[in-house]
Structure 1
Amino acid sequence: MSTEHDDFVCGAALARAFDFLGKRWNGLILGTLFAGPSGFAELRRAVGGISDSVLAERLAELSKAGLVVRTVDPGPPLAVTYSLTPAGQALLPALRELTKWAADNLFQR
Protein backbone atom coordinates (compact mmCIF):
# COMPACT_ATOMS: atom_id res chain seq x y z
CA MET A 1 0.00 0.00 0.00
CA SER A 2 1.45 3.38 -0.93
CA THR A 3 0.82 6.83 0.36
CA GLU A 4 0.70 10.08 -1.58
CA HIS A 5 4.22 10.80 -0.37
CA ASP A 6 5.49 7.44 -1.64
CA ASP A 7 3.88 8.07 -5.03
CA PHE A 8 5.53 11.49 -5.23
CA VAL A 9 8.97 10.09 -4.38
CA CYS A 10 8.56 7.23 -6.86
CA GLY A 11 7.36 9.61 -9.55
CA ALA A 12 10.20 12.03 -8.90
CA ALA A 13 12.78 9.24 -8.94
CA LEU A 14 11.41 7.83 -12.18
CA ALA A 15 11.39 11.29 -13.75
CA ARG A 16 15.04 11.83 -12.73
CA ALA A 17 16.00 8.41 -14.13
CA PHE A 18 14.37 9.08 -17.49
CA ASP A 19 15.73 12.61 -17.59
CA PHE A 20 19.26 11.29 -17.13
CA LEU A 21 19.10 8.04 -19.09
CA GLY A 22 16.93 9.57 -21.79
CA LYS A 23 19.53 12.18 -22.57
CA ARG A 24 20.81 11.52 -26.06
CA TRP A 25 23.68 9.02 -26.16
CA ASN A 26 23.77 8.13 -22.43
CA GLY A 27 21.93 4.84 -22.84
CA LEU A 28 24.05 3.82 -25.82
CA ILE A 29 27.28 4.65 -24.01
CA LEU A 30 26.20 2.61 -21.00
CA GLY A 31 25.06 -0.22 -23.23
CA THR A 32 28.44 -0.27 -24.96
CA LEU A 33 30.27 -0.35 -21.64
CA PHE A 34 28.27 -3.40 -20.51
CA ALA A 35 30.55 -5.39 -22.83
CA GLY A 36 33.57 -4.24 -20.83
CA PRO A 37 36.02 -1.34 -20.55
CA SER A 38 36.57 0.74 -23.68
CA GLY A 39 38.83 3.50 -24.80
CA PHE A 40 37.53 6.81 -26.12
CA ALA A 41 38.02 5.90 -29.79
CA GLU A 42 36.34 2.52 -29.29
CA LEU A 43 33.34 4.22 -27.70
CA ARG A 44 33.14 6.79 -30.50
CA ARG A 45 33.09 4.00 -33.12
CA ALA A 46 30.55 1.93 -31.17
CA VAL A 47 28.22 4.90 -30.66
CA GLY A 48 28.06 5.97 -34.28
CA GLY A 49 27.30 9.60 -35.05
CA ILE A 50 28.48 11.09 -31.75
CA SER A 51 31.05 13.89 -31.87
CA ASP A 52 34.20 13.86 -29.76
CA SER A 53 33.04 16.85 -27.72
CA VAL A 54 29.61 15.37 -26.97
CA LEU A 55 31.14 11.99 -26.07
CA ALA A 56 33.57 13.70 -23.69
CA GLU A 57 30.68 15.67 -22.16
CA ARG A 58 28.50 12.59 -21.71
CA LEU A 59 31.37 10.56 -20.21
CA ALA A 60 32.01 13.38 -17.73
CA GLU A 61 28.29 13.42 -16.78
CA LEU A 62 28.20 9.64 -16.38
CA SER A 63 31.35 9.79 -14.26
CA LYS A 64 29.95 12.57 -12.10
CA ALA A 65 26.79 10.50 -11.59
CA GLY A 66 28.93 7.60 -10.39
CA LEU A 67 28.05 5.26 -13.26
CA VAL A 68 31.34 5.32 -15.17
CA VAL A 69 34.94 5.46 -14.02
CA ARG A 70 37.84 6.85 -16.07
CA THR A 71 41.12 5.00 -15.60
CA VAL A 72 44.45 6.35 -16.86
CA ASP A 73 47.34 3.98 -17.51
CA PRO A 74 50.41 6.22 -17.78
CA GLY A 75 52.02 3.79 -20.22
CA PRO A 76 53.93 4.29 -22.31
CA PRO A 77 51.85 4.76 -24.30
CA LEU A 78 49.28 6.61 -22.20
CA ALA A 79 45.94 4.81 -22.26
CA VAL A 80 42.57 5.96 -20.94
CA THR A 81 39.74 3.49 -20.48
CA TYR A 82 36.18 3.90 -19.32
CA SER A 83 34.29 1.23 -17.43
CA LEU A 84 31.11 0.85 -15.44
CA THR A 85 31.09 1.24 -11.69
CA PRO A 86 28.98 -1.13 -9.59
CA ALA A 87 26.17 1.47 -9.80
CA GLY A 88 26.47 1.47 -13.59
CA GLN A 89 26.48 -2.32 -13.71
CA ALA A 90 23.33 -2.34 -11.58
CA LEU A 91 21.49 -0.80 -14.54
CA LEU A 92 22.07 -3.87 -16.71
CA PRO A 93 18.89 -5.77 -15.73
CA ALA A 94 16.71 -2.69 -16.23
CA LEU A 95 18.27 -1.85 -19.60
CA ARG A 96 17.93 -5.48 -20.74
CA GLU A 97 14.23 -5.41 -19.86
CA LEU A 98 13.77 -2.04 -21.57
CA THR A 99 15.51 -3.38 -24.68
CA LYS A 100 13.30 -6.47 -24.68
CA TRP A 101 10.19 -4.34 -24.21
CA ALA A 102 11.20 -2.06 -27.10
CA ALA A 103 11.88 -5.02 -29.39
CA ASP A 104 8.54 -6.60 -28.50
CA ASN A 105 6.42 -3.46 -28.64
CA LEU A 106 7.97 -0.64 -30.63
CA PHE A 107 9.24 -2.33 -33.74
CA GLN A 108 6.12 -4.32 -34.57
CA ARG A 109 4.14 -1.31 -35.74
Structure 2
Amino acid sequence: MRDVDEQSHVCDAAVTLAFSVLGKRWNGMIISALGGGPSTFVSLRRGVSGISDTVLSDRLAELAKAALVTRTVTAGPPVTVSYALTESGEGLLPILEQLGSWAAANLERR
Protein backbone atom coordinates (compact mmCIF):
# COMPACT_ATOMS: atom_id res chain seq x y z
CA MET A 1 0.00 0.00 0.00
CA ARG A 2 1.30 3.46 -0.89
CA ASP A 3 2.00 5.88 1.90
CA VAL A 4 -0.21 8.92 1.86
CA ASP A 5 1.78 12.02 0.98
CA GLU A 6 1.55 14.28 4.00
CA GLN A 7 2.74 17.37 2.11
CA SER A 8 0.13 19.88 1.14
CA HIS A 9 -0.40 20.24 -2.56
CA VAL A 10 -0.97 23.66 -4.01
CA CYS A 11 -3.04 24.15 -7.11
CA ASP A 12 -1.07 25.63 -9.98
CA ALA A 13 -1.58 29.41 -10.22
CA ALA A 14 -2.39 29.19 -13.93
CA VAL A 15 -5.09 26.57 -13.30
CA THR A 16 -6.52 28.78 -10.57
CA LEU A 17 -6.56 31.72 -12.97
CA ALA A 18 -8.25 29.65 -15.71
CA PHE A 19 -10.99 28.47 -13.38
CA SER A 20 -11.60 31.99 -12.09
CA VAL A 21 -13.11 32.56 -15.55
CA LEU A 22 -14.13 29.09 -16.75
CA GLY A 23 -15.38 27.94 -13.37
CA LYS A 24 -18.30 30.33 -13.46
CA ARG A 25 -21.54 28.69 -14.44
CA TRP A 26 -22.40 29.19 -18.13
CA ASN A 27 -19.01 30.52 -19.33
CA GLY A 28 -17.83 27.23 -20.82
CA MET A 29 -21.18 26.71 -22.50
CA ILE A 30 -21.15 30.22 -23.98
CA ILE A 31 -17.64 29.68 -25.35
CA SER A 32 -18.69 26.32 -26.75
CA ALA A 33 -21.78 27.87 -28.39
CA LEU A 34 -19.60 30.54 -30.00
CA GLY A 35 -17.36 27.80 -31.38
CA GLY A 36 -19.70 27.56 -34.33
CA GLY A 37 -18.99 31.16 -35.30
CA PRO A 38 -20.27 34.64 -34.47
CA SER A 39 -23.71 34.80 -32.93
CA THR A 40 -26.30 37.31 -31.81
CA PHE A 41 -27.50 37.61 -28.24
CA VAL A 42 -30.83 35.97 -29.10
CA SER A 43 -29.11 33.04 -30.82
CA LEU A 44 -26.80 32.57 -27.86
CA ARG A 45 -29.75 32.61 -25.46
CA ARG A 46 -31.36 29.85 -27.52
CA GLY A 47 -28.08 27.91 -27.75
CA VAL A 48 -27.38 28.02 -24.02
CA SER A 49 -30.57 26.53 -22.67
CA GLY A 50 -31.70 27.79 -19.29
CA ILE A 51 -29.64 30.98 -19.07
CA SER A 52 -31.44 34.24 -18.29
CA ASP A 53 -30.92 37.42 -20.30
CA THR A 54 -29.30 39.16 -17.34
CA VAL A 55 -26.83 36.36 -16.66
CA LEU A 56 -25.99 35.99 -20.35
CA SER A 57 -25.32 39.71 -20.60
CA ASP A 58 -23.13 39.63 -17.48
CA ARG A 59 -21.19 36.58 -18.64
CA LEU A 60 -20.59 38.02 -22.12
CA ALA A 61 -19.22 41.20 -20.52
CA GLU A 62 -16.92 39.13 -18.29
CA LEU A 63 -15.71 37.03 -21.22
CA ALA A 64 -15.06 40.19 -23.24
CA LYS A 65 -13.10 41.67 -20.31
CA ALA A 66 -11.04 38.45 -20.20
CA ALA A 67 -10.35 38.91 -23.96
CA LEU A 68 -12.06 35.63 -24.86
CA VAL A 69 -15.04 37.18 -26.69
CA THR A 70 -15.46 40.26 -28.85
CA ARG A 71 -18.64 42.31 -29.17
CA THR A 72 -19.30 43.97 -32.54
CA VAL A 73 -22.04 46.52 -33.18
CA THR A 74 -23.07 46.97 -36.81
CA ALA A 75 -24.95 50.15 -37.73
CA GLY A 76 -28.36 49.47 -39.15
CA PRO A 77 -31.00 49.79 -39.74
CA PRO A 78 -31.48 47.64 -37.83
CA VAL A 79 -28.52 47.87 -35.48
CA THR A 80 -27.12 44.41 -34.82
CA VAL A 81 -24.79 43.20 -32.10
CA SER A 82 -22.79 40.04 -32.56
CA TYR A 83 -20.38 38.11 -30.38
CA ALA A 84 -17.42 36.04 -31.50
CA LEU A 85 -14.49 34.23 -29.96
CA THR A 86 -11.10 35.88 -29.98
CA GLU A 87 -8.03 33.84 -30.86
CA SER A 88 -7.61 33.11 -27.14
CA GLY A 89 -11.23 32.01 -26.91
CA GLU A 90 -10.84 29.73 -29.92
CA GLY A 91 -7.85 28.15 -28.18
CA LEU A 92 -10.24 26.85 -25.53
CA LEU A 93 -12.40 24.88 -27.97
CA PRO A 94 -10.19 21.76 -28.14
CA ILE A 95 -9.94 21.78 -24.34
CA LEU A 96 -13.72 22.02 -23.98
CA GLU A 97 -14.14 19.18 -26.50
CA GLN A 98 -11.76 17.02 -24.47
CA LEU A 99 -13.60 17.93 -21.28
CA GLY A 100 -16.91 16.96 -22.90
CA SER A 101 -15.48 13.62 -24.04
CA TRP A 102 -14.16 12.95 -20.56
CA ALA A 103 -17.52 13.86 -19.00
CA ALA A 104 -19.42 11.59 -21.39
CA ALA A 105 -17.16 8.68 -20.48
CA ASN A 106 -16.89 9.29 -16.73
CA LEU A 107 -19.90 11.17 -15.37
CA GLU A 108 -23.51 10.11 -15.07
CA ARG A 109 -26.14 12.23 -16.75
CA ARG A 110 -28.68 13.60 -14.32
Q: TM-score range by the shorter chain?
A: 0.7 to 0.9
Q: Which runs of 4+ in 1 moved over 3 A?
A: none
- When normalised by structure 2's length, the TM-score is 0.85
The structure number with the bigger radius of gyration is: 2
Q: Matched residue pairs, number?
A: 101
User: Could you say what secondary structure the match of 2:12 adopts?
Assistant: helix
Query: RMSD of the TM alignment (CA)?
Result: 1.6
Paired residues for 1:4-83 under 5 Å: 11-83=12-84
- When normalised by structure 1's length, the TM-score is 0.86
Flag structure 2 segments of 5+ consecutive residues without an equivalent.
1-8
Q: Kindly provide the amino acid, as one letter, of the partner of residue 108 in structure 2.
A: F
Bigger proportion of residues as helix: 1
1:46-100: per-residue Cα shift (whole Å, max 9, x none)? 1111111111100000000000000011111100000000000011111111111
